Structure 1
C-alpha cells in the first residue's frame, strides 16, 4: 500500500518487493550482533538454570527415598533384634522356672534308682510315687512350665498389645510354634513310667537301665527277691 500511491501516477502497480541484501552501517551491524549474542546467552542461562533445577529436584528425591529405605532397614533391624531378645528371654525364663523343680525330681529319681539296686527285699516308698514320676515326665516335656506360667498369670508374648504390622514383622505368631517344637524334642513315654512306678509300689524289682522302656518290660522285670543263702 505504501508503494501504490507513488507508483499510481506512472501507471505502475507493485505486486511484491524482495530484499536481497542489506548492508547496514558498521555501528548498526555491531549492535545487531551484540543483540543476537545477548539473546543467545539469555537462552543458554535459562536452559542451564532449568537443568540445575531439575538436577536438584532429582537429587532431593533420591536422598529422600534413600533416607526412607535406610529408616525402614533400621526399623526392621531393631524389631528383629527385639524379637530375638524376646525369644531368648522366654527360653531363659522357662529354664529358670524349671530348675528348682528339676532338682527335686532328679533327687527323687536318684533315690528310686538306689532303692532298686539295694539288696533289701523290703521297700519303703512314698505314697505319691506315680505323682513324682508324672512330674518328672511333665518336666521333660516342658508342660510344667506352661502350667506355672498360667498359674502366675504370666501370659505369652502373643497376649501383648502389638499392632498387626509389628506382630508380622517380629513373628510373634511363630514364637509359640518355636517353643512347641522345642518341647516336642523332649517328649517321653509318661504312661510307661507310671506303669514302672506302679510296679515298684507293688514290690517288684525294676532294672534302672530300663527306666525308659515299655510297661510290659517293667512288668516282666522280676518279682520279689529271695534272701541270699549263707
Structure 2
C-alpha cells in the first residue's frame, strides 16, 4: 500500500518536472532564460525545453511594433510663447537580450528623452515656425532618439507631433488672422473673377464688333457690285438704244437715198435744224447766207414731198406746218432788210 502511494507520488513529480521544463513561446515573442542567475539563452517562438529548477525565464519580449503616447509637454518658443505639444512614437525591439540587460525601462527612457528634445527643438523655433514645422520637429526627435536607443536594442520607427496648442489669446488672434487672410484671398479671387469676366466680355464685344464690321463690309461690297452691275446693264441698254437709233436713222436715210432724194433729204434736215434753233428764247436769229438757198428750195422740197406722198415717210400735216413757218420767217427777213436799208 505504501509502496503504491510512493510510486504514484513519484509519477506525479516526474510529470510536474516535465511540464515545468517544457515552454511554449508565442509568435513574435522571445523569452530570456537565465541559468543559475546568469543569461543562458533566448527562446524563440514554438516549443522549448529548459531544465526545471535550474533554468528560469526572466522576461518574455514582444517583438511587435509598440506605440507609446508621450504626455503633453509645455514648452516655450523662441519668441517667448508657451505652447503645448502632444507627441507619439513607435518603436520595435530588435535585440531582446540588449533591451533586457542594457535598459531597465525602455518606454520611460524614451518618454524622458522625447520630452527633453521637444523643449530643446522648440526653443530654437518661433511660434509660426513651430506651427508650420511639425515635420521638422518629428525629424529632430527621431534623430536624437536613434542615437540613444541604438545601444538599447530598440529601433525608433516613427515619431509624430500630434498636436500643437498655443494659449487661448494667441489662438484667438491666430483665428482672426486666418479669417482676415481667408477674406483677403476671397476678395482677390472675386476681383480676379471680375477681371476675367470683364476680359471675356470685352473679347466677346470685340468679336461681335469684328463680325459686325465684316458683315457691313460684305454688304457694302455686294451693294457696290450690284450698283456696278446695274450701271453696266444701264450703260449697255443705252448703248443698245443708241445703236438702235443710229441703225434706224441709217435705215431711214438709206430708204430716202433709194428714192433718189439725196438733195431734198439734206435740205429737209437743214430746215429741221433751223426750226429747232428757232424754238429757243432768243428774239433774233442770224441765218447764214448759204441758208437762203435752203429756204428758197423749200418750195421745191414741198412739191417733191407732196408728190412722193406718205410713201416717203413724211406726212402731209407736217409739210404744211413747215410752209407756214417758212413764209413767216421769209417775211420777217424781208422786213428786216428794208429797215436796214432805210436806216442807211
Query: Do Structure 1 and Structure 2 share a fold, with TM-score over 0.5?
Result: no
Determine which structure has the larger helix proportion and give its number: 1
Identify the structure with bigger relative contact order (alpha carbons < 8 Å, sequence gap 6+): 1
Structure 1 or 2: more strand by fraction: 2
- Compute the TM-score of the two structures, normalised by the length of structure 2: 0.27
Q: TM-score, normalised by structure 1?
A: 0.38
